[in-house]
Chains A and B, each alone.
Chain A
Amino acid sequence: MPIDTLDRFEVKYLRIIDENGTADPSVMPPLPDALLKNIFEKIVLARTFNQRAMSLQREGRIGTYASFYGQEAAQVGSALAIAEGDWVFPSFRESGVLIALGYPMRRLYSYWAGDERGMQAPPGLNVFPMSVPVGTQAPHGMGAAWAMKYRKEKKASITYFGDGGSSRGDFHEALNLAGVFKVPAIFFCQNNQWAISMPRQRQTAAKTIAQKAIGYGIEGMAVDGNDAVAVYKATTDALDRAKRGEGPTLIEAFTYRLDDHTTSDEASRYRPKEEVEAWRVKEPLIRLRLFMEKKGLWTREYEEGVGKAALDAVDREIEAYEGMAAPEPSDMFRYTYDELTARQKRELKEFGWER
């Protein structure tokens, strides 16, 4: 008996706008101008937040910070596809996602300055605190989606992680469970090519991370992560499918971390300069600008106005963050359980932390 082929697979890759700002009409969705401008403006805002965070860290005004510079299209493009009522499970590099969702920037700065109040999402925004242990948030996204399905609600969850996170068991168990129970969960991988000093090739021998979906019987696709429109479309389609009951999707966005891993890292120790420069010209704002200019949506004055507004907004938020009263030591106790234990009550007294 000859060897049979039981199944065949392919890994799809979506790119809509190329590096010269030219859109492929065969895949370009009919997006309103206001949305394109919103994407552009949120990328500028997120980048401004990020630049200011880097300076604040150098000045000692916040602590260790994880930059998302270079990944704005992946973060903003996906975030703007998220609907009210959806749940978001970010990793620590997703400040840009949160900003695009309208998360108060003062809270993000305070979080990065070591104040846990910063991860308290405001009412109406279902954003989990950023996960620090890499990839461990993937089962949470699966579980929330499971609960949405249980309650028969037309919602979905989206879990963010990176190429490093795709090596974790949590990621694999979450995808497996999501497939078995066909829950409305999106797993959004920003493959930024580096997990601290480990290149993508050290995470997996597979050609793509997107193809890992195949092993779990779920939808998977790759997308140009520096093309905000492609990211927006891929995420929108995946969320729509999930809400129609068609199950989970793994999206791999090819992008690049232009900065160090965090402010405590020095990427030049392990990363060739030429590689960084090659990606620098592919950064997301360049092509979006060219694309919008062709459509008559971009002028120098427009960008100057957007930049100025972003800087003003960020400055106001920094001022608000720096004006916040310091957290009370008793806050440590207040949210350990729903009520204080006998020991906590005693310790509050002993430490002189009673308010």
Chain B
Amino acid sequence: MGKMNIVQAVQEALRLEMERDGDVVVLGEDVGRDGGVFRVTEGLFERFGPERVIDTPLSEIGIVGAAVGMAAYGIKPVVEIQFMGFIYAGLEQIFSHASRIRSRSRGRFTCPLVVRAPYGIGIKAPELHSESSEAFFCHMPGVKVVVPSTPYNAKGLLTSAIRDPNPVVFLEPARLYRSIKGEVPDGEYSIPLGKASVYQEGVDFTVVAWGTMLHRAADAAEGFDCEIIDLMTLKPFDEETVLGSVKKTGRLVVVHEATMNLGLGAEVAALAAGEAIEYLKGPVIRVAGPEAVVPMARLEDDYMPGVERIKRAYEKVMRY
């Protein structure tokens, strides 16, 4: 057991899985000698060599597409995309191939790959380095989407993602990479995909959040007796835990960084409305990014839901 940040936790999960399974390879731009733009893969090149920690040309379509072929063949590729805004080139490979090869071949071929990418704002990066487009991936059947929020769950969730027989998009909150530290057990462990965790128990209302927003939602909760759920797996998400909590508290707030329109918050709200309307005392409230293109550094604090905005949502839901 030791304290580490998310960069170190992700790195440790990669190292342990690569030690455990000779078929796990890491590929991406600058992931080798340079250790990745966020240094997540630092040390892996030296430890496992150039055949398993592969520096690729600048080629998002090619990298993701090649990983589809590798995964179908039986190798386990863990792809790093440097920033979420650059994943868009690879979307067709994820949507038209990775997500459906199991279905199209009726189980003859599968695609157990992991695409890792930092997501979200808060690191004063250039344009298209701060996207939070998780909902795109959640919409596509056949893909799993995972977002860790702590060093502990980053390590356990990535371990599960690598072992999962389905394609997993693993989105790492860039803002949290080095800003929080937490206890992480030594050695390998896994946290099951598809299960949420109750971050904080409470009785008055339920808050659903993930990644960076989990911490904002928790900061805003001072003075409230609310239950905070860390969704962790966004697709397929743990409906049972969410509904159980909503039925207990009778109120629901969903917080996410992405723009509100068709964000995952809408799905969580619809679930509560569809399956637990008789328990709800008032409207489901979503706190989300504005309907605007993710801005550059000067406006990023304004874009991101802050503690004050979240607090106002808590106060509002408590009026019912």
Contact = CB atoms under 8 A, between A and B. Distances in A.
A143 B75 CA distance: 10
Contact of B73 (A87, A116, A133, A176): A87
Interface stretch (B58-66, B283-291, B303-311): B58-66
Contacts of A174: 62, 65-66
B72 A128 contact: yes
Interface stretch (A66-74, A238-246, A337-345): A337-345
Contacts of B281: none
B39 interface: no
Given A133-B92, A337-B142, A143 B106 contact: no
B59 A177 contact: yes
A325 B300 CA distance: 57
A334 B92 CA distance: 23
A89 interface: yes
A41 to B, nearest CB: 27
Given A117-B106, A121-B105, A150 B66 contact: no
B102 A335 contact: yes
B103 A157 contact: no
Contacts, number: 138
A341 B194 contact: yes
A144 B105 contact: no
A157 B96 contact: no
Interface string B61-84: 111111111111111010000000
Given A140-B65, A143-B68, A338 B108 contact: no
B51 A150 contact: yes
A142 B72 CA distance: 12
A334 B236 CA distance: 15
A169 interface: yes
B144 interface: yes
Contacts of B109: 128-129
A331 interface: yes
Nearest to B68: A140
Given A136-B97, A336-B142, A144 B65 contact: no
B69 A170 contact: no
A322 B73 CA distance: 32
Contact of A144 (B69, B97, B104, B144): B69
B244 interface: no
Contacts of A336: 102-103, 141-142
A77 interface: no
Nearest to A121: B108
B106 A120 contact: yes
Given A342-B240, A343-B236, A343-B239, A337 B144 contact: yes
Contacts of A143: 65-73, 77
Contacts of B25: 150
For chain B, give the interface size range: 35 or more
A335 B64 CA distance: 21
A143 B65 CA distance: 7
B66 A177 contact: yes
Contacts of A144: 69-70, 72-73
Interface string A72-98: 000000000000000101000000000
**Secondary structure of the A contact surface, majority rule:** helix
Interface string B95-138: 01100011111111110000000000000000000000000000
Contacts of B103: 116, 332, 335-336
A30 B75 CA distance: 38
B57 interface: yes
Contacts of A319: none
Nearest to A111: B104
B123 to A, nearest CB: 28
B122 to A, nearest CB: 31
Contacts of A139: 61-62, 64-66, 68-69, 93
Nearest to B144: A337
B142 A173 contact: no
A177 B74 CA distance: 19
Which of A173, A177, A334 has most chain B Cβ within 10 Å? A173
A143 B107 CA distance: 19
Which of B70, B73, B108, B236 has most chain A Cβ within 10 Å? B73
B24 to A, nearest CB: 11
A180 B63 CA distance: 12
B200 interface: no
A89 B25 CA distance: 22
B56 A177 contact: yes
Interface of A: 87, 89, 116-117, 119-121, 128-129, 131-133, 136-148, 150-151, 157, 169-170, 173-174, 176-177, 180-181, 331-332, 334-338, 341-343
14 contacts: A119-B104, A119-B105, A129-B109, A133-B96, A138-B65, A140-B69, A157-B69, A170-B92, A173-B59, A173-B61, A173-B65, A176-B59, A335-B103, A336-B103
The 5 closest A-B pairs by CB, nearest first: A139-B65, A143-B69, A173-B62, A143-B66, A140-B69
Given A146-B75, A148-B73, A150-B70, 8 more contacts: A129-B104, A131-B97, A139-B62, A139-B65, A140-B65, A143-B68, A145-B69, A147-B70
